[in-house]
């Protein structure tokens, strides 16, 4: 299958979707007599196989609420919602009674067959559901520490019996010095642990493993007290099992810290349940799992489908993934358009990732003013031990053809590494500096 063609077609079909489609949101619209909005939300969920939404869509066609009355579609959607269950036989027979002729019933059956081929259980399984496995559950970008210092357990957290964690992203110098340190996530969000972690990790050293300087690493610090449990996670898991969409997503995100599960916790299972219930973040995560084969069998077609649904809802990380796939396939126009939209809508974490990709791939065609605005935003978050970010600044100014500034920031990157104790400045950086100086002389 031509994946880029699939991206293009699906993106057009789904671009009109609005964000945050959830069953609760749809039912709230209905209860508040906002029938058009309710119909739209139920329709989105029905198209990714959500049975309660398919049933409600049928009822709205029957009532003519939020849409024109259509008995044939009402029959087809309600029958599809009852697929392989037989719980709504009586209601389906009641709808049949409104169909005036045998031809109308035959046409209704044809609509049902068509809907089942697109949104029935087997179709959803084939087009969207990951084939779960225990492969590649670990993050391949986790840094290996070779010199550490204990951040200590904060007294306030210890006194209150608070457990938690901090997740960091950072780059590494050639000698394994962490730079550009950023907090990506923490639990709980009261910042018990972030300050001691940031103070300690500055002194750590990691195995660089010969990777590119632009490679972004992750490291997770856990703070545990005895054999206690994360009470919030227990409650979250209970709500997730009961079918609460937001809890399913959050448990997928944090469930690996649940002491009642083993090391093979598979977040993809929970992300899929949340995704089919309309949680956009989860839709993206399912796409990521399918793309990388993380916790499931890799499947590009299904990954593209989920990314497209989330991107059409305005979710920037999915736009970014689609942009990379487009660019890799040689579709520069679509790729540049998507990556620009993603950068414009990005938060701090994603902005750094996108800017780093532009730097790594030596991508042209991105507005340098947009890049500089995002870099200024990142610097405003007080990145600890900045170094590589100056390379990103240098690249933005080079694209702007402001070579004086490009040279200035390339010097800043090199000087920053020297100040952190790095003696092995890569030849590639020094060569790039000389090339920028030559461009400056020629202007």
- What is the side-by-side order of every strand in the sheet holding 178-187? 178-187, 164-172, 217-223
HEC string of 140-206?
A: CCECCEEECCCCCCCHHHHHHCCCEEEEEEEEECCCCCEEEEEEEEEECCCCCCHHHHHHHHCCCEE
| Among candidate residues 228, 248, 273, the one where a domain is terminated | 228
- 208 within domain boundaries: yes
* End-of-domain residue from the set 193, 228, 263: 228
Each residue's pLDDT tens digit, 219-245? 888 887 765 456 677 888 999 999 898
In a shared domain, residues 43 and 85: yes
Range 252-281 average pLDDT:
84
- Return d(Cα 283, Cα 277) in angstroms, integer: 9
Decide which of 198, 228, 258 is a domain's last residue. Answer: 228
What's the pLDDT band for 60 if we cut at 50, 70, 90? very high
d(CA 45, CA 418): 54
Per the domain annotation, does 79 fall within a domain?
yes
3-state helix, strand, coil in the chain (%, to 5): 60, 10, 35
Separation between Cα atoms, residue 49 and residue 290, nearest integer Å: 18
CB atoms within 10 A of CB 302: 22
Query: Is a pLDDT exceeding 80 seen at residue 140?
Result: no
pLDDT for residue 373: 97
Taking the whole predicted model, whether its pTM rises above 0.95 is answered as no
On whether both 121 and 156 belong to a single domain, the answer is no
Assess whether 179 and 91 both reside in one domain: no
**How many structural domains compose the chain?**
3
Q: Do the domain assignments include residue 318?
A: no
Give residue 211's domain range: 145-228
Mean pLDDT of 15-23: 44
Q: What are phi and psi of 47, to 5 degrees?
A: -75, -15
Whether 154 maps to a domain, the answer reads yes
pLDDT digits (tens, 9 = 90+) for 189-208: 767 899 999 999 999 999 98
Q: For position 391, which CATH number holds?
A: 1.25.40.10
Q: Is 290 inside a domain boundary? A: no
Q: Is residue 436 a part of any domain in this protein?
A: yes
In a domain, 297, yes or no: no
pLDDT score of 14 more than 60: no
pLDDT for residue 8 is more than 60? no
- 155-193, pLDDT tens digit by residue? 888 888 888 889 999 999 999 999 999 998 888 876 789
* Residue 234, domain member (yes or no): no
Could you tell me which residue, 355 or 428, shows the higher pLDDT? 355
């Amino acid at each position: 299958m031509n994946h880029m063609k699939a991206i293009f077609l699906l993106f057009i079909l789904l671009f009109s979707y609005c964000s945050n489609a959830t069953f609760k949101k749809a039912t709230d619209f209905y209860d508040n007599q906002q029938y058009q909005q309710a119909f739209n939300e139920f329709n989105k969920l029905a198209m990714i196989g959500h049975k309660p939404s398919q049933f409600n869509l049928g009822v709205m066609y029957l009532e003519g609420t939020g849409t024109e009355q259509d008995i044939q579609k009402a029959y087809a959607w309600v029958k599809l919602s009852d697929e392989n269950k037989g719980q709504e036989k009586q209601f389906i027979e009641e709808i049949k009674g409104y169909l005036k002729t045998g031809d109308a019933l035959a046409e209704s059956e044809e609509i049902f067959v068509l809907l089942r081929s697109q949104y029935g259980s087997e179709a959803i399984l084939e087009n969207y559901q990951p084939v779960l496995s225990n492969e590649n559950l670990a993050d391949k970008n986790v840094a290996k520490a070779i010199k550490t210092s204990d951040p200590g357990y904060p007294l306030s957290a210890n006194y209150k019996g608070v457990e938690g964690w901090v997740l960091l992203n950072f780059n590494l110098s050639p000698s394994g010095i962490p730079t550009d340190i950023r907090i990506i996530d923490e639990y709980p969000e009261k910042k018990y642990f972030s300050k001691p972690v940031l103070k300690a990790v500055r002194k750590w050293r990691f195995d660089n493993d010969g990777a590119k300087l632009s490679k972004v690493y992750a490291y997770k610090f856990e703070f545990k007290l005895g054999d206690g449990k994360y009470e919030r996670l227990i409650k979250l898991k209970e709500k997730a099992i009961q079918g609460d969409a937001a809890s399913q997503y959050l448990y997928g995100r944090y469930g690996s810290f649940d002491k009642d599960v083993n090391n093979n916790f598979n977040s993809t299972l929970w992300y899929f349940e949340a995704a089919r219930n309309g949680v956009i973040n989860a839709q993206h995560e399912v796409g990521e799992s399918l793309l990388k084969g993380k916790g499931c069998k890799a499947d590009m077609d299904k990954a593209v489908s989920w990314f497209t649904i989330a991107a059409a809802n305005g979710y920037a990380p999915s736009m970014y993934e689609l942009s990379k796939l487009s660019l890799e396939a040689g579709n520069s126009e679509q790729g540049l358009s998507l990556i620009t939209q993603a950068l414009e809508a990005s938060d701090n974490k994603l902005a750094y990732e996108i800017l780093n990709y532009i730097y790594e791939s030596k991508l042209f065609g991105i507005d340098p003013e947009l890049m500089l605005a995002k870099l200024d935003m990142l610097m405003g978050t007080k990145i600890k031990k900045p170094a590589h970010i100056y390379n990103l600044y240098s690249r933005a100014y080079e694209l702007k053809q402001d070579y004086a500034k490009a040279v200035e920031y390339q010097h800043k990157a090199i000087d920053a590494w020297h100040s952190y104790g790095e003696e092995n400045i890569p030849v590639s950086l020094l060569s790039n500096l000389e090339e920028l100086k030559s461009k400056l002389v020629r202007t």
